[in-house]
């Protein structure tokens, strides 16, 4: 596709001044350079970009020499972090899609380190809305991929055939979900079909990368919608294999989890934040609670943290998330037995853990939040959480 050029549809002051000065400096030295990717997309859609990334014809060493405060990052593909004040900006050299693999069976991209032209760099990106280049010096958008049409139409298409692009890198399927939910863009039919067909390839992507994208997705404030999408695209089996036997056990398990995600969205909407440990507790809580149930075995309260540890560790070892997140998630889940003992514990004996001690633990606010999330998800009044909060406050030393 030949490049289409558009003048900026928004004022230039919306651009980050420091990023613009980096681009200008590179251009002054004769290196073609642009703002690229998510920041261009977000500005066009009227939202505030998280970060301003720069792509340039200059090689990493040349960039390094131009900027006093800069560092080379990455082993395989080198980018440069250019520091400005307390922030840094990512400057990457244009690269092309890697040449097709000799072995036709290996469709997944293994190597990703071939330098190229600006146009090639636009074409190797995932979605058309993500492939726009912005020249902040002349004030123009350069579009090699049809991204402006998609932005205007509010649609999400991959660059090139999604069957090919999702096979190359199945993580793009999760990125599809992220962008359709977060940006409210309508995915194309081909994209939906390709996502469903290639979902099993997610099994070949690095689990750590998948987990990273999953946790980000669930922290968008749209976890309930994301959960619907993951089920509709049939990717749950591949991104959350640890949940599959539990989900298959009973038809309502997916809904139970869906309501927890709704409650999580409600908390995030209210301005609260989640982290690895908390999201982990939200995702695996229902399965742990169900495994700790009189129908499955005789109960001792001390078994609960063991069950939780087994479930969480299974995931942690595959996804290589930090161990401390598992420990904290376990604390959050186990504390529920004391804060809100399940009715079936009446006979077996409720835990008698000292509440004052519990309330002084660093994870306690999270445990209380989680209680609130469960109450909300189960349609119960939130008073119980309020009462505990009051009680905890009465222990807090003066002035805290």
Give catalytic residue positions. 51, 53, 126
How distant, in Å, are the alpha carbons of 36, 209, 361 from that of 109?
22, 14, 46
Q: For ligand ATP, which is the closer residue by CB, 171 or 233?
A: 171
Beta pairing class for 87-93 and 53-56 = parallel
Closer Cβ to ligand ATP, 50 or 86, answer by number: 50
Binding partner selected for residue 134 from ligand ATP, Mg ion, none, CB under the kind-specific 5 to 8 Å limit = none
Work out whether 88 is an interface residue with Mg ion (CB under 5 A).
Answer: no
Quote the least distance from Cβ 51 to Mg ion, whole Å: 6
Return the number of the residue (174 or 335) whose C-beta is nearest Mg ion: 174
- Of residues 40 and 307, the one with the C-beta less far from ligand ATP: 40
Minimum gap (Å) between residue 71 Cβ and ligand ATP: 19
CA-nearest of 127, 184, 120 to 154 is 184
Q: Which is nearer to ligand ATP, 126 or 265 (CB)?
A: 126
Per-residue HEC secondary structure of the chain comes to CCCEEEECCCCHHHCCHHHHHHHHHHHHCCCCEEEECHHHHHHHCCCCCCCCEEEECCCHHHHHHHCCCEEEECCCCCEEEEEECCEEEEEEECEECCCCCCCCCCCCCCCCCEECCHHHHHHCCCEHHHCCEEECCCCEEEECCCHHHHHHHCEECECCCHHHHHHHCCHHHHHHHHHHHHHCCEECHHHHHHHHHHHHHHHHCCHHHHHHHHHHHHCCCCHHHHHHHHHHCCCHHHHCHHHHHHHHHCCCHHHHHHHHHHHHHHHHHCCCCCCHHHHHHHHHHHHHHHHCCCCCCCCCCCHHHHHHHHHHHHHHHHHCCCHHHHHHHHHHHHHHHHHCCCCCHHHHCCCCCCHHHHHCCCCHHHHHHHHHHHHHHCCCCCHHHHHHHHHHHHHCCCCC
Identify what 258 binds: ligand ATP, Mg ion, none; CB under 5 to 8 Å per kind.
none
CB of 29 to ligand ATP, least distance (A): 24
CA angle, residues 265, 212, 330, in degrees to nearest 5: 70
Q: Is 160 in the site for Mg ion (CB under 5 A)?
A: no
Stretch touching Mg ion by CB under 5 A, among 22-30, 34-42, 79-87, 216-224: 34-42
Site stretch for Mg ion (CB under 5 A), options 32-40, 129-137, 288-296, 367-375: 32-40
User: For binding to ligand ATP (CB under 6 A), which residues are involved?
Assistant: 37-38, 50, 125-126, 130-131, 169, 171-172
Q: Which residue is nearest to Mg ion (CB)?
A: 38
Question: For Mg ion, which residue of 8, 20, 38, 365 counts as binding (CB under 5 A)?
Answer: 38
What's the min distance (Å) between Cβ of 220 and ligand ATP?
A: 9
Nearest to Mg ion of 38, 98 (CB atom): 38
For ligand ATP, which is the closer residue by CB, 81 or 376? 81
Least distance between ligand ATP and beta carbon 176 (Å): 10
Q: Which does 171 bind (CB under 5 to 8 A by kind): Mg ion, ligand ATP, none?
A: ligand ATP
State in angstroms the smallest separation of the CB of 36 from ligand ATP: 7
Choose the contact partner of 125 out of Mg ion, ligand ATP, none; CB within 5 to 8 A by kind.
ligand ATP
Report what 172 binds from ligand ATP, Mg ion, none; CB cut-off 5-8 Å by kind.
ligand ATP
Question: Which region among 33-41, 120-128, 145-153, 252-260 touches Mg ion (by CB under 5 A)?
Answer: 33-41
Task: Give contact residues for Mg ion (rule: CB under 5 A).
Answer: 38
């Amino acid at each position: 596709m030949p490049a289409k050029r558009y003048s900026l549809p928004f004022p230039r002051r919306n651009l980050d001044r420091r990023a613009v000065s980096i681009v200008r400096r590179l251009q002054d030295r004769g290196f073609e350079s642009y703002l690229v990717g998510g920041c261009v997309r977000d500005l066009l859609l009227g939202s505030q970009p998280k970060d301003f990334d720069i792509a340039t014809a200059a090689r990493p060493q040349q960039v390094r020499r131009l900027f006093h405060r800069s560092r080379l990052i990455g082993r395989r593909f080198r980018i440069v972090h250019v520091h400005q004040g307390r922030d840094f900006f990512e400057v990457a050299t244009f690269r092309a899609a890697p040449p097709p693999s000799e072995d036709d069976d290996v469709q997944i991209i293994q190597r990703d380190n071939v330098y190229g032209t600006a146009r090639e760099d636009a074409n190797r990106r995932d979605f058309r809305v993500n492939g726009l280049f912005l020249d902040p010096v002349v004030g123009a958008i350069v579009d090699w991929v049809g991204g402006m049409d998609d932005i205007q139409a509010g649609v999400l298409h991959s660059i090139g055939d999604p069957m090919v692009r999702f096979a190359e890198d199945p993580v793009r399927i999760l990125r599809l979900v992220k962008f359709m939910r977060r940006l409210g863009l309508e995915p194309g039919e081909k994209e939906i079909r390709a996502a469903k067909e290639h979902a099993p390839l997610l099994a070949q992507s690095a689990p750590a990368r998948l987990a990273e994208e999953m946790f980000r997705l669930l922290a968008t404030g749209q976890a309930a919608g994301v959960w619907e999408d993951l089920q509709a695209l049939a990717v749950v089996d591949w991104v959350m294999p640890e949940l599959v036997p539990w989900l298959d056990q009973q038809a309502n398990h997916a809904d139970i989890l869906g309501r927890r995600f709704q409650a999580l969205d409600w908390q995030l909407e209210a301005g609260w934040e989640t982290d690895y440990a908390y999201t982990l507790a939200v995702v695996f809580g229902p399965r742990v609670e169900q495994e700790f149930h009189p129908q499955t075995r005789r109960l001792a309260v001390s078994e609960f943290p063991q069950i939780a540890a087994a479930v969480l560790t299974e995931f942690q070892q595959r996804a290589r998330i930090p161990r401390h997140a598992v420990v904290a998630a376990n604390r959050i889940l186990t504390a529920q037995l004391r804060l809100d003992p399940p009715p079936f514990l009446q006979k077996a004996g409720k835990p008698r853990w000292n509440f004052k001690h519990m309330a002084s633990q660093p994870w306690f606010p999270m445990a209380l939040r989680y209680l609130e999330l469960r109450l909300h998800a189960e349609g119960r009044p939130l008073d119980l959480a309020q009462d505990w909060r009051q009680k905890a406050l009465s222990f807090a030393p003066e002035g805290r």
